[in-house]
Amino acid sequence: MSNVRVLALVGSLRAGSHNRQLAEAAVDAAPAGVEIEIFEGLAEIPFYNEDHDNDQDRSAAGVRLREAIAAADGLLFFTPEYNGTIPAALKNAIDWASRPMGEGAISGKPVAVVGTAYGQYGGVWAQDEARKAVGIAGGNALPDVKLSIPESVVRFAESHPREDAELVAQVADVVRQIADAAKEPVAA
């Protein structure tokens, strides 16, 4: 049987992103038979504009995202919270993946949303909003896969998440859940 392919999208664009580090911990935690790829290039994707979503004008970066999502069996989002909601870069990716309407790359894909943020709730508002947007976009947002790590800036100031055994176990559990969902056939 071929590997289960999970595409990770990171909602923070900064190089030192703690959410990116969590995604790296997920890559490490993937068991045999599960491949996790972190999508590079969210920053290059222009804001979604229907006027430019045609064969003449369509952004190559947007097409790359759609192709990567289409090729994945499941998606894993790692996102901080920006001003109480989902960061624009991740929302833009969902918008790109949602079109053409009803046939977007995200249609029917299982999506798990986790992350870390500075606040005491670890970005749950952003995660909830991301799940809501994924569902409206046609994806299958997994409501029960949850991991929100508070106080990112303090907790990961001096250590990478992969150095924290308890956290690594939590991330591994998330990976197992998205991989299990990705293995299931998409309902017609």
Ligand X SMILES: Cc1cc2nc3c(=O)[nH]c(=O)nc-3n(C[C@H](O)[C@H](O)[C@H](O)COP(=O)(O)O)c2cc1C
> Taking CB under 6 A as the rule, does residue 139 contact ligand X?
no
The site string for ligand X over 28-67 (x = CB under 6 A, - otherwise) reads ----------------------------------------
Q: Which is nearer to ligand X, 3 or 159 (CB)?
A: 159
**CA–CA separation, 72 and 108 (whole Å):** 11
> Taking CB under 6 A as the rule, does residue 88 contact ligand X?
no
Instruction: Return the range that interacts with ligand X (CB under 6 A); candidates 33-41, 78-86, 93-101, 137-145.
Output: 78-86
**CA–CA separation, 130 and 117 (whole Å):** 14
- Distance of closest approach, residue 95 Cβ to ligand X, in angstroms: 19
**CA–CA separation, 46 and 49 (whole Å):** 8
Q: Which is nearer to ligand X, 74 or 123 (CB)?
A: 123
Q: Burial letters for 52-79: b for 16+ Cβ neighbours within 10 Å, e otherwise? A: eeeeeeebeebeebbebbeebbbbbbbb
Interaction residues for ligand X, span 92-131 (CB under 6 A): 117-119, 123
Figure out which of the listed residues 18, 91, 99, 109 binds ligand X, where binding follows CB under 6 A: 18
Figure out which of the listed residues 4, 6, 7, 19 binds ligand X, where binding follows CB under 6 A: 19
- Distance of closest approach, residue 26 Cβ to ligand X, in angstroms: 14
- Strands 140-141 and 4-10, by their bridges, are unpaired
Cα distances (Å, whole numbers) of residue 100 to 9, 39, 49, 119: 20, 21, 12, 36
**CA–CA separation, 137 and 131 (whole Å):** 10
Binding site for ligand X (CB under 6 A): 12, 14, 17-19, 80-84, 117-119, 123, 152-153
